[in-house]
């Protein structure tokens, strides 16, 4: 028993166990494609698949008029592994044109959710169009291994409890979008065995420092450092909206909605729908939302109610609204 406890506490053994579990998770998928942002998480998946003799087709989104950061990393990984890489370069107007379809699928007008999900939407759409049947995504790694800056800057005593909470409530739009696009997705990081291991990890396993900077996903970085290029192993977390360039959507909204219309429509949304509109991008998506759905307050009740849109919130311990994006609630 003492030896078993010692083994579970050994960082090297934990890394080896994580690597075995992730290799098995990838081997157990039927994926023939990958949404390749070439951050740490998807680079690991692509590398593991290549080691298993599978050359996945990569899809990378690089918005033509946005600060797309992922493309050079995706090209690096694809060249290193010999992958066929398809880079999609939509304009912001193309993303806005597709947004109503995405809003219909996800039932939200939350700008952060939509900016991130639209990149995945166009990637899955492209994958389907070129004949890919199943796409791997890196969803879940940030939640389970402390990839977000707010997580790895938490007090060390709070982080494991927070990961336990995320394990219960985390939600990935790729799983909702894929069936609507007639394609499948596989999320190796959220396999039960990997989730179980993640819940045993300490802050010391997850958080470290390098060159004076704090970083998360320490165990993932170290477990696969020998098979990744250094610039991928230590690449900082880049949210999808920045990596793809969809973060420029607020600029599009600001340029297309005049101040007078904004003020009038905010007042109307508040008085008629009990919805608080926060900015022009929020209004852009709310316009689309209301073409499809009734006001959030007219939807079936949840466990609690969002004070900013009066929509239902399914859990008492949820601190944000999935419909309007309000935080905290």
Do residue 48 and residue 36 come from a single domain?
A: yes
Looking at the fold, whether 64 and 131 belong to one and the same domain comes out as yes
Nearest CA to 320 out of 169, 167, 209, 204 is that of 169
- Cis omega before residue 328 (within 30°)? yes
In this structure, the answer to whether residues 35 and 66 fall within a common structural domain is yes
CB 329 within 8 A of CB 313: yes
In a domain, 169, yes or no: yes
pLDDT in tens, 35-67: 999 999 999 999 999 999 999 999 999 999 888
Statement to judge: residues 189 and 264 lie in one domain: no
- Length of the chain measured in residues: 329
Are residues 277 and 169 located together in one domain of the fold? no
152-175 confidence digits (pLDDT tens): 999 999 999 999 999 999 999 999
* Same domain, yes or no: 46 and 67: yes
Quick check: 135 and 35 in contact, CB under 8 A? yes
Same domain, 149 and 111: yes
Same domain, 197 and 264: no
Residue 197 has pLDDT above 80, yes or no: yes
Asked whether residue 302 is assigned to any structural domain, the reply reads: no
227 and 285: one domain? no
Contact predicate 56/31, CB 8 Å: yes
Rounded CA-CA distance 97/91 in Å is 10
Asked whether residue 311 is domain-assigned, the answer is: no
Structure tokens at 57: 């087709």
Q: In the 8-state DSSP scheme, what is residue 184?
A: E
Q: Which residue range is the domain that position 231 belongs to?
A: 2-247
Q: Are residues 100 and 41 in the same domain?
A: yes
Domain total of the chain: 2
- The whole-chain average pLDDT of the chain stands at 96
What are the backbone angles phi and psi of residue 186, rounded to the nearest 5°?
-125, 135
- 230 CB-near residues (< 8 Å, 6+ apart): none
Q: Are residues 19 and 152 in the same domain?
A: yes
Cβ neighbours of residue 127 closer than 8 Å, sequence gap 6 or more:
33, 35, 57, 59, 135, 183
Same domain, 274 and 177: no
Residue 15 lies in a domain: yes
The string of pLDDT tens digits covering residues 74-105 is: 999 999 999 999 999 999 999 999 999 999 99
The pLDDT tens digits of the residues spanning 13-34 come to: 999 999 999 999 999 999 999 9
């Amino acid at each position: 028993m003492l030896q078993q406890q010692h083994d579970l506490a050994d960082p090297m053994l934990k890394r080896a166990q994580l690597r075995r579990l992730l290799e098995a998770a990838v081997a157990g998928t039927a994926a023939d494609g990958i949404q390749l942002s070439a951050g740490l998480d998807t680079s690991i998946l692509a590398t593991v698949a290549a080691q298993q003799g599978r050359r996945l087709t990569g899809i990378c989104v690089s918005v033509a008029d946005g600060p797309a950061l992922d493309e050079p990393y995706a090209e690096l990984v694809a060249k290193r592994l010999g992958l066929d890489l398809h880079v999609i370069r939509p304009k912001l107007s193309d993303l806005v044109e597709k947004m109503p379809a995405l809003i219909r699928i996800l039932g939200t007008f939350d700008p952060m959710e939509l900016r991130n999900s639209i990149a995945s939407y166009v990637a899955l759409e492209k994958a389907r169009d070129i004949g890919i049947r199943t796409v791997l995504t890196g969803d879940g790694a940030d939640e389970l291994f402390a990839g977000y800056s707010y997580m790895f800057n938490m007090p060390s005593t709070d982080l494991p409890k927070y990961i336990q909470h995320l394990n219960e409530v985390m939600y990935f739009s790729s799983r909702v979008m894929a069936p609507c696009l007639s394609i499948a997705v596989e999320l190796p990081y959220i396999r039960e065995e990997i989730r179980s291991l993640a819940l045993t990890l300490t802050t010391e396993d997850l958080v470290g420092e390098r060159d004076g900077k704090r970083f998360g996903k320490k165990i993932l970085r170290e477990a696969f450092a020998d098979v990744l290029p250094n610039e991928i192993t230590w690449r900082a977390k880049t949210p999808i909206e920045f990596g793809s360039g969809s973060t420029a959507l607020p600029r599009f909204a600001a340029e297309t909605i005049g101040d007078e219309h904004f003020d009038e429509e905010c007042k109307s949304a508040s008085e008629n729908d009990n919805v608080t509109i926060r900015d022009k991008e929020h209004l852009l998506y709310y316009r689309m939302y209301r073409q499809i759905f009734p006001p959030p307050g007219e939807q079936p009740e949840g466990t609690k109610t969002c004070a900013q849109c009066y929509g239902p919130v399914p859990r008492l311990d949820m601190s944000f609204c999935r419909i309007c994006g309000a935080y905290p609630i």
